[in-house]
Amino acid sequence: MKVKDKVVIVTGASMGIGEVTAKLLSKQGAKVVLAARSLDKLKNLEKELNGSYAIKVDMTDEKEIKNMVKKTVEHFGRVDILINNAGQGYDAFTTDIKIDKFKYLFDLNLLGPVIAMQEVIPYMKKQGEGSIINVASGTALMFIPGMGAYSSLKRSLVGVSLTAREELEKYNITVSVIYPYITSTNFEKNTIKNGVMQDEGDSPPMPGDPPEYIAQKILDLINSKEAESFAHDWMGKR
Ligand SMILES: NC(=O)c1ccc[n+]([C@@H]2O[C@H](COP(=O)([O-])OP(=O)(O)OC[C@H]3O[C@@H](n4cnc5c(N)ncnc54)[C@H](OP(=O)(O)O)[C@@H]3O)[C@@H](O)[C@H]2O)c1
């Protein structure tokens, strides 16, 4: 699908991969809905990106997710593309996983994207076309000590996404998954720590792929309608 003039919701647009993706899609002529909790940051970005629209949303809150889609359609009259990007890491060995934190991450990294999909799909069906990109993680393809909680949710997101892809093909709605590898954002700093990683304080983002590299992969995935896109080819060889 070409993004020009399309209405695109980008969750987690206040920083990192989401912010850079929103900028790239806007540059390509999309009307971008900027969604996250940090409304001040979104409002600044809204001023920068022509025709964009900031919506405050906590992606762990079902009502707020529904409201995000409702406000999108009220404002633009349609929704063409959903990019489920908001997410957070959690470093803890299996024995140390805190149940409340795991449940929170379940809501954010898995259930939130599913609810957002459920909300946009009826509009996409009516419009006869749609594209949903779910941001997974290279860790979904690996078994890294301390990452059981986070990676299992991303693995589940892949499962839900690729199943929905089969279900929605007949409606001309494409569901795709992208697997970023280590990307230079504040992701590691924002990761919930539980004894595995040290708190980095004000340290710079971990060296990795620039977020612009992943944003371009997301744009390519919308255009190509492929099922999966890997930050690096070796990740797809499983
Ligand atoms: N960076 C990496 O190395 C890497 C690798 C693999 C996969 N990923 C995935 O890529 C995606 C983006 O990560 P990133 O690297 O850009 O991380 P980031 O810089 O920490 O950004 C995370 C984004 O998610 C939003 N967010 C967090 N909790 C939220 C909530 N409860 N409700 C709504 N929005 C929320 C944040 O906005 P607010 O705080 O303003 O709400 C922020 O915009 C995530 O799904 C992550 O799992 C990242």
Distance of alpha carbon 22 from alpha carbon 19, whole angstroms: 5
| Domains of the chain, each with CATH number or no CATH | 7-232 (3.40.50.720)
pLDDT score, position 206: 75
Q: Tens of pLDDT along 99-132?
A: 999 999 999 999 999 999 999 999 999 999 999 9
pLDDT score, position 195: 63
Residues of the chain with pLDDT under 70: 195-202, 238
pTM: 0.97
pLDDT score, position 238: 65
Q: Tens of pLDDT along 149-165?
A: 999 999 999 999 999 99
Ligand 1 atom nearest to CA at 86 = 24
Pocket probe for ligand 1: among 58, 88, 104, 150, the residue whose CB has the most ligand atoms within 8 Å is 88
Residues 197, 96: contact at Cβ < 8 Å?
no
Contacts 24+ apart (CB under 8 A), 32-37: 32/8, 33/7, 33/8, 33/9, 33/68, 33/72, 33/75, 33/76, 33/79, 34/10, 35/9, 35/10, 35/11, 35/59, 35/68, 35/86, 36/11, 36/12, 36/86
User: What sign does the CA torsion over 123, 129, 131, 132 have?
Assistant: positive
Distance of alpha carbon 138 from alpha carbon 31, whole angstroms: 29
- Helix residue spans in 128-177 (DSSP H): 148-168
Q: Tens of pLDDT along 192-202?
A: 997 666 566 66
- How far, in Å, from the CA of 168 to the mean position of ligand 1? 26
Q: What is the mean pLDDT of the chain?
A: 96
Q: Alpha carbon 161 to chain centroid distance?
A: 12
Pocket probe for ligand 1: among 41, 55, 187, 212, the residue whose CB has the most ligand atoms within 8 Å is 187
Q: Look up 171 and say whether it is catalytic.
A: no
Say what the alpha-carbon torsion angle 37, 43, 49, 53 is, to the nearest 10 degrees: 70
Distance of alpha carbon 40 from alpha carbon 13, whole angstroms: 12
Q: What is the DSSP letter of 49?
A: S
Q: Report residue 196 as tokens.
A: 């595995």
- How far, in Å, from the CA of 133 to the mean position of ligand 1? 14
Q: Alpha carbon 177 to chain centroid distance?
A: 10
User: Which residues line ligand 1 at a C-beta cut-off of 6 Å?
Assistant: 11-12, 14-18, 36-38, 57-60, 85-88, 108, 135, 137-138, 180, 182-183, 185-187, 190, 208
Ligand 1 atom nearest to CA at 109 = 45
pLDDT score, position 202: 67
- How far, in Å, from the CA of 148 to the mean position of ligand 1? 18
The residue annotated as part of the active site, out of 53, 150, 171, 181, is: 150
